[in-house]
Amino acid sequence: MRLFLLLLTLAALAVSATEAQTDSTRASSPEMTSGTLDSPDLPRFPASWATSDFLDPSLALPDTTPPAMPVRSTAHLLPENMSFMERGLWGESGFFRSIGIAGELTPEARKSELSARRVMLTMHQIGGFVTLGLLGATVYYGQRYLNYSDRTDRSKHQEFVTFAIVSYGLTGLLAVISPPPLIRRNETSTTTIHKTLAWIHFAGMVLTPIVGGMIRKRSGKFSYDDLATAHFHQVSAYITTGVFAASLVVITF
Amino acid sequence: MITRVLAVACAALVCAEAPAQVKHLACMKDQSSMTYRLVHPLHKIEATSKDVAYDLEADPVAHTFKHVSGTVDVTTFDSGNSNRDSHAMEVIDAIDYPDASFEGSGFVQRGDSLYANGKITFHGVTKDVTIASVPHWSEGKLEVDGSFTLSLTEFKIDRPSLLMIPVEDALSFTFTAVFGLQ
């Protein structure tokens, strides 16, 4: 028993001697640091203690730090492939943001913009059907006027021309100024075909009324040149209406 | 003699209680995918994501399963029409809920089919589901093909519409998850 106690005492002494030597080594080593860099009077402790596990974890106070809120990046709020118009109007420093119509680019702001986009594109769809009807009526009365030279048909044709142009302009504007989508890839899809056809019928919608305005009917008859212009106007109107209808139908595929 | 009997008994006990060789199997993302199908009266829409992170704990020897999970970034589904995909992201609030996930830990094997019971979190809503699948164990890899169907309205999603006509309520998924056994 005495031998055991003696061994225990020797072991304890050996351990304390080793620790004292280690501490003196740490005190003279360059890794020694002070409590803070600016307070040399504070007790000094070895830097390695900062990572040691000498503290009893059970004595640690509970961590009351609130969980970090998920940080949502604005990097993917706008698509990479934005058109010139979209970038100018809805880009991070676009026109609508600079004048305050749209807020700063945040997830919340983008959600509002996407809701607005949905409303605008739904109205664009409805406007497309209305415009197609108006274009059909315009073509019908234009054709009647060419066939029968009835002035009533001519005045109805011109009324529908006005309505069709206004409806077309508003419908197109809704799509052009709508906020950009979340995703846009480089691809050929029904939407890209729809947009390509839109460029064609837009050209037709500009050209056809200009040519129509050039037709002059004198003494109730077309001159040779005016008849040629009227035929050009007629063909242009049919093609424009056809392409417009195709751009509407293609979106359903 | 008694010592030998005890030794044999202990050995038998140890062998009987040896834990199954459950391993964490690494997902082979390049061969894994998930596809959803949505039906509109005018046409059917299919969109596929190749960016699905599957995670599986299974015993490749006993062909048993312990735990499975899968997470997909919903913005990675590609239907070939980004305008349509963007519309889909709008209706499922992808800005707020960019991921959909599944956690399953209850498995029932019936013939070749494996049914995984678990929870799907989609559009911020968590629901219990059972996913039917067929595991194909082969040399070096495990391929699991499966399918399940969700209701858009159950997950509080407004059905998207085209030309003012909404899509059907059922949103069907098929998936292929491939895991390496090495």
Q: A155-205: per-residue pLDDT in tens?
A: 999 999 999 999 999 999 999 999 999 988 888 989 999 999 999 999 999
Percent of chain A surpassing pLDDT 70:
68
Answer yes or no: pTM beyond 0.95.
no
Query: What string of H, E and C letters represents the secondary structure of chain B?
Result: CHHHHHHHHHHHHHHHCCCCCCEEEEECHHHCEEEEEEECCCCEEEEEECCEEEEEEEECCCCEEEEEEEEEEHHHCECCCHHHHHHHHHHCCCCCCCEEEEEEEEEEEECCEEEEEEEEEECCEEEEEEEEEEEEEECCEEEEEEEEEEECCCCCCCCCEECCEECCCEEEEEEEEEEECC
pLDDT of residue A29: 43
pLDDT band for position B156 (50/70/90)? very high
B14 in contact with A, Cβ within 8 Å: no
- Which of B86, B161, B165 would you mutate first to test chain A, the one with the most A CBs within 10 A? B86
B20-180 classified as CATH 2.40.128.110: yes
How does pLDDT run across B112-145, given as a tens digit for each residue? 999 999 999 999 999 999 999 999 999 889 999 9
pLDDT band for position A66 (50/70/90)? low
pLDDT band for position B14 (50/70/90)? very low
pLDDT of residue A76: 79
- Is the pLDDT at A72 greater than 60? The verdict is no
- Is the pLDDT at A68 greater than 80? The verdict is no
What integer best gives the mean pLDDT of chain A?
79
CA A9, CA A145: separation in Å to the nearest integer? Answer: 123
How does pLDDT run across B67-96, given as a tens digit for each residue? 999 999 999 999 999 988 998 999 999 999
How does pLDDT run across A222-248, given as a tens digit for each residue? 677 788 899 999 999 999 999 999 999
| Contact yes or no for A191 and B94 at CB 8 A | no
- Is the pLDDT at A219 greater than 90? The verdict is no
| Nearest residue of B to residue A190, measured between CA atoms | B81
Nearest-Cα distance to chain B for A170, in Å, is 18
CA B98, CA B71: separation in Å to the nearest integer? Answer: 10
Nearest-Cα distance to chain A for B14, in Å, is 36
Residues of B in contact with A82 (CB under 8 A): none
Q: Which 87-106 residues of chain B touch chain A by CB within 8 A?
A: 87, 89-90, 93-96
3-class secondary structure, A31: coil
Mean pLDDT of A140-158: 93
A221 in contact with B, Cβ within 8 Å: no
Domain boundaries, chain B: 20-180
Mean pLDDT of B89-107: 92
Residues of B in contact with A189 (CB under 8 A): 80-84
| Contact yes or no for B83 and A252 at CB 8 A | no
How does pLDDT run across A99-126, given as a tens digit for each residue? 988 888 899 999 999 999 999 999 999 9
| Contact yes or no for A252 and B96 at CB 8 A | no
| Contact yes or no for B86 and A182 at CB 8 A | yes
